[in-house]
Structure formats: C-alpha cells, structure tokens
Amino acid sequence: MAKLNFGGVEETVMTREEFPLEKAREVLAGETIAVLGYGVQGPGQSMNLRDNGFNVIVGQRQGKTYDKAVADGWIPGETLFSLEEAAERATIVMCLLSDAAVMSVWPRIKQYLTAGKALYFSHGFAITWSDRTGVVPPADIDVIMVAPKGSGTSLRTMFLEGRGLNSSYAVEQDYTGRALERALAIGIGIGSGYLFETTFQREATSDLTGERGSLMGAIQGLFLAQYEVLRENGHTPSEAFNETVEELTQSLMPLIGDKGMDWMYANCSTTAQRGALDWMTPFHDAVKPVMQRLYDSVKRGDEAQIAIDSNSRPDYRVKLEKELADMRDSEMWQAGVTVRRLRPEND
C-alpha cells in the first residue's frame, strides 16, 4: 500500500499497480460472489466483476429490476436467483440493496451468513446505525466495504472506457484473517481507480453529509437561489438558467475536475477572477454554519432516523414522486429541458 501526503495528512491508498487484477483473481479464486440488489450499484458492480472474470451471481426479487437483470445477461437458475438462494450459494454476499431494503430483508438473509463468509456493503449506513437498523452481523464472518465515489452508472461507464472510479474501503470485522485482501480484491474487481482507507462510521457520516451538502442538497439550493434572484430582477429563463446551471455543468466543472479550482480561476477573465475571489469568503462564512449543523445532525444519527422513518412509510414512494415532480416541473428545470435540447450535439 502507498502512503500519500495530502497537505501534511498521510493517507493509505491502494492502486491498481500495487494490487493488479491478476492478484485480485487469485485472492478470490474459489469464491462465489453474490450481488444482492440490482438497483443503483448492483448492475455496475456485478457486470464489472463478471467482465473481469470473477464467479458472480445476482440475487433479486421478481419485478422490473429482475427483468433488467435478465436483459443484462443474468440467467435465471444459473446466475440469477432469489435473494435468499443467492445468499445461500455465496461465500461473499455483496449487500447492494437500498438502506430501507436491507432492513426489511435482513432477517431472511442473516441465516445464510455462515462461518467464514464475507458480508460486503458499499455504504456504512446499516452497520454504523445498527442500533436503529437492526443489522448486526454474526461474529464469525468478515464484514467489509468498498464504496465507489459515484453512481453505479458512472462506475460501469468508466469501466467500459478503460478508466476507474475511486473508492473507499474498510474492514469492520475480520474473522478469517483475509477480510482486507477480500475487500481490496473486490475493489479492484469492480473497477476502482484507486482505493483509500476509511471506516464504516466515517464513510456513512461523510456520505450523508455530502449528499445533503455540496453534492445534491446544497447545490440545488444554491442553483435555485441564484436563478430566482436573476428572474426577480428581469432576466429571462434562458439567461438565468445558462448563467446558473449550464455554464457551470458544461464548461467550468469539467475544468475543475481536470485541473483544479485554481486552474479554472486562472483561465477565466480577470473580472471573473476578482469577483470570485472576493465573494468566496462571504459565501463560505454564510454556508459553513449550515454545513456544521448538517454534520452534527448526521453524526447524532438524526438524519439516519429521518431516512429510516420516511422510507418505512407506505406512502413514501408516492410522496417522493410528488416532490421530484415539483422539482422537475419548476420553471428552472423546465428551462433546462429547453436549453439541453438546443445543445449542438442534439442537432
């Protein structure tokens, strides 16, 4: 493993050069890997493992998602089974169900987690808040995690492009003495770019903070606030959307991702540079207290409980669809539909 220095903070990372695919295959030789759930992460992780030559099966309930698995080449009775049968057949059970689904099926799959098996997650939620989720693994199995830092769709797309999506990894319980190498081997097998060390608790708290913060919650709030101010001051929907969303996502974010914020600043106009540098601090000072409140709420388990309570309600899906429809039908995102239609690649 490599030790990298991030501004004076040393971190342990594993690269594909240090842990090549051939080694991952050797570590998992003789293992049967069952991917439970074919929703967000399941397709990307299972297909990448399959394409990389691992012995993979899928466990999924009947329905549209089951049909999608069949369409992706998983064969009922051979590589596609019920959740329970897949868990029984496997030596490594990859639990890629939603947090709510994990809680509901846990009593049914726990009995198949026999001595020496490994239980794998891509999110620390169920284990970190086990007092709320009821997910307490047996003592005689390995409990491991690899958490790709992006969607399952991105994981699959980048794999097909010959690239890798960075992932974190953790070992919560090492019964066999092989938990770490099992985790790293799967991390390489699913197509991770490099793997950095974490814990279930750190991954869960940072993930929930990020989703509610800069990755989704805060960015939508920021977009909407700027769009509303521009519209309320006479700017057209097209102008407001382009200045708020389109320029950021299509022009600036790729530069930031490729070269960093400083490089992006250096390659903008001097007017933009000066204004961005001057207004950066007021935005930071206004937002940081909100971010701290968010983190505290996550760390206390409040956000986990809110998610558990809301996802357990029988009308959750109906309410979710209504909230997403309200966002989709808002003027800002309807302007986005029109703007995207006018992009040159759509000609």
* Tokens representing residue 206 in the block: 């940072």
Rounded Cα gap, residues 38 and 29, in angstroms: 24
3-state secondary structure of 191: coil
Residue 284 annotated to the active site: no
Give, in order, the Cα–Cα distances in Å from 335 to each of 19, 174, 247, 270.
47, 52, 14, 29
Question: Of 36, 80, 122, 123, which one is the catalytic site residue?
Answer: 123
**What sign for the dihedral angle of Cα 288, 8, 17, 55?**
negative
* Tokens representing residue 189 in the block: 């097998």
Residue type, 162: G
DSSP assignment letter at 20? -
Rounded Cα gap, residues 92 and 279, in angstroms: 50
* Tokens representing residue 147 in the block: 């958490």
Residue type, 146: V
DSSP 57-118: EEE--SSHHHHHHHHTTPPBTTTEE-HHHHHHH-SEEEE-S-HHHHHHHHHHHGGG--TT-E
* Tokens representing residue 94 in the block: 């990859």
H-only helix segments in the chain:
21-27, 42-51, 64-71, 83-89, 99-109, 125-128, 130-133, 152-160, 179-189, 200-212, 217-232, 237-241, 247, 253-259, 261-266, 270-300, 302-312, 316-329, 331-341
Q: Are strands 192-197 and 2-6 parallel, antiparallel or unpaired?
A: unpaired
Rounded Cα gap, residues 178 and 142, in angstroms: 8
Residue 121's CB is within 10 A of a number of other CB atoms, namely 28
Active site residues: 123
